[in-house]
């Protein structure tokens, strides 16, 4: 890490490696068509999978709640920040995912830090899929537990590692839908494994909640053969398909009670604005009744998959709205992203260290807000670029 005098040189290294980050400035609302840096773009770059971030019903609900209860919670949950709207939302969220109890967190990142920190210490061990989200990696490190990473979805290796570990408390941590690959973890099998080894199973469903399952209840609904068990801990974020902000953890009553006492990112932070809880409650209703949005997404995914045939780049096998087009080199991925941008299409290039070296990719993210014509426009552009136009 840099000393003060080295900072400029270290930043120059990042630039030289083609890893320099630059933030785009969004000027209107989130959606399939966005205004960014003064330009109108067709965007495949959000996690707003159901097109709810700018939904009129959610906006009206938030406005109503702001009018009645203000914009800030003003205190942490354990002081005076825990509002009736939070309390109601926690009950609704638990029922929605079919678990006994739920607890709101300010964000998914904080939920991950909070849960792992509350359950694990120096003599314990985390078993993490190698492709887990960075927030789970940070959560494992911060917990000070031993951090074992198993090859992506390799349950045989995981079984062996669990068996060999002398740790007192063991926790398996997995993304339910992998954020840069879009594939889905076999949760029922993972829960079996966890029970056999008397371990916790922690499921991060940031990208499945609202999208997977007939009623959008997420990865647990999708894993139809899974029977909930007290060792199961479920986390989903509310800023992606749900279109708002925040996160929640669901599990047994005892687990939630423990987190209220021990999860430091829960205890030592201001409660999120009650108006957001009101918006999420309304969002849950739209998600449950959102079968048409999910069917539309499935149709767009199928259209994209069949349309990429003949391109020099391949899509990873994914049935979720995350459709990664693997390009390989960092510079090549950036060039492709820039060529699309020249055609007013925004698809981010994802480079190491977010993904393994040599697998730089375009992360095409589909939304129910897209039309078939939007997907066709992307496909036409990709084919033109591939032909060297």
Q: Which residues are catalytic?
A: 179, 207, 240
Least distance between ligand PLP and beta carbon 222 (Å): 15
Q: Per rule CB under 6 A, is residue 221 in the interface with ligand PLP? A: no
Long-range contacts of 82-88 (CB under 8 A, 24+ apart): 82/271, 83/271, 83/274, 83/277, 84/274, 85/274, 85/275, 85/277, 85/278, 85/281, 86/271, 86/272, 86/274, 86/277, 88/277, 88/281
- Please tell me the distance from the alpha carbon of residue 204 to that of residue 23, in angstroms, as a whole number: 26
Could you give the 3-state DSSP secondary structure of residue 248?
Answer: strand
N- to C-terminal Cα separation, the chain:
42
Q: Per rule CB under 6 A, is residue 207 in the interface with ligand PLP? A: yes
Phi, psi of 365, rounded to the nearest 5 degrees = -120, 115
Of the pair 139, 381, the CB lying nearest ligand PLP is at 139
- Sorted by sequence, the CB contacts under 8 Å of residue 51 that are 6+ apart come out as 31, 32, 243, 293, 367, 368, 369
Q: Per rule CB under 6 A, is residue 125 in the interface with ligand PLP? A: no
Q: Per rule CB under 6 A, is residue 185 in the interface with ligand PLP? A: no
Binding mask 126-165 for ligand PLP (x = CB under 6 A): -------x-x------------------------------
Q: Per rule CB under 6 A, is residue 359 in the interface with ligand PLP? A: no
| CB-side neighbour CA atoms (13 Å) of 333 | 25
Q: Per rule CB under 6 A, is residue 170 in the interface with ligand PLP? A: no
Least distance between ligand PLP and beta carbon 42 (Å): 23
From 109, 127, 234, 313, residue interacting with ligand PLP (rule: CB under 6 A): 109
Find where tokens 């036409």 sit: 380
Tokens matching residue 173: 């941590």
Q: Per rule CB under 6 A, is residue 237 in the interface with ligand PLP? A: yes
> Which residue's CB atom is positioned nearest to ligand PLP?
108
Q: Per rule CB under 6 A, is residue 206 in the interface with ligand PLP? A: yes
Least distance between ligand PLP and beta carbon 284 (Å): 16
From 46, 179, 318, 367, residue interacting with ligand PLP (rule: CB under 6 A): 179
Q: Per rule CB under 6 A, is residue 204 in the interface with ligand PLP? A: yes
Interface contacts to ligand PLP, rule CB under 6 A: 107-109, 112, 133, 135, 175, 179, 204, 206-207, 237, 239, 247
């Amino acid at each position: 890490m840099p000393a003060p005098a080295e900072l400029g040189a270290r930043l120059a290294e990042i630039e030289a490696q083609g890893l320099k980050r630059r933030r785009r400035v969004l000027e209107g609302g989130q959606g399939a068509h966005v205004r960014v840096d003064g330009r109108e773009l067709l965007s495949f770059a959000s996690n707003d999978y159901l097109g709810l971030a700018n939904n009129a019903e959610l906006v009206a609900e938030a406005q109503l709640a702001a009018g009645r209860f203000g914009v800030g919670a003003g205190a942490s949950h354990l002081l005076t920040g825990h509002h009736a709207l939070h309390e109601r939302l926690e009950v609704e969220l638990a029922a929605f995912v079919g678990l006994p109890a739920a607890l709101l967190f300010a964000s998914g990142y904080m939920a991950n830090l909070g849960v792992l920190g509350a359950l694990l210490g120096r003599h314990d061990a985390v078993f993490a899929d190698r492709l887990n989200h960075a927030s789970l990696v940070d959560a494992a490190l911060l917990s000070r537990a031993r951090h074992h990473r198993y090859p992506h979805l390799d349950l045989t290796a995981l079984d062996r590692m669990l068996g060999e570990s002398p740790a007192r408390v063991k926790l398996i941590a997995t993304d339910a839908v992998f954020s840069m690959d879009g594939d889905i973890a076999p949760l029922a099998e993972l829960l079996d494994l966890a029970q056999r080894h008397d371990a916790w199973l922690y499921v991060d469903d940031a990208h499945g909640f609202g999208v997977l399952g007939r009623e959008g209840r997420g990865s647990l609904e999708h894993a139809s053969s899974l029977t909930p068990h007290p060792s199961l801990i479920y986390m989903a974020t509310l800023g992606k398909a749900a279109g708002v902000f925040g996160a929640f953890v669901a599990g047994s009553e005892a687990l939630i009670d423990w987190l209220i006492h021990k999860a430091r990112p829960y205890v030592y932070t201001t409660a999120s604005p009650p108006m957001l809880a009101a918006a999420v409650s309304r969002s849950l209703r739209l998600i449950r009744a959102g079968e048409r949005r999910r069917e539309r997404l499935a149709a767009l995914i199928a259209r994209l998959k069949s349309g990429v045939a003949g391109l020099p780049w391949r899509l990873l096998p994914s049935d979720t709205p995350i459709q990664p087009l693997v390009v390989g080199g960092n510079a090549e991925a950036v060039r492709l992203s820039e060529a699309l941008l020249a055609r007013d299409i925004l698809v981010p290039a994802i480079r190491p260290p977010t993904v393994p070296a040599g697998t730089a990719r375009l992360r095409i993210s589909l939304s129910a807000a897209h039309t078939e014509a939007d997907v066709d426009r992307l496909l036409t552009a990709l084919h033109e670029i591939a032909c060297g136009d």
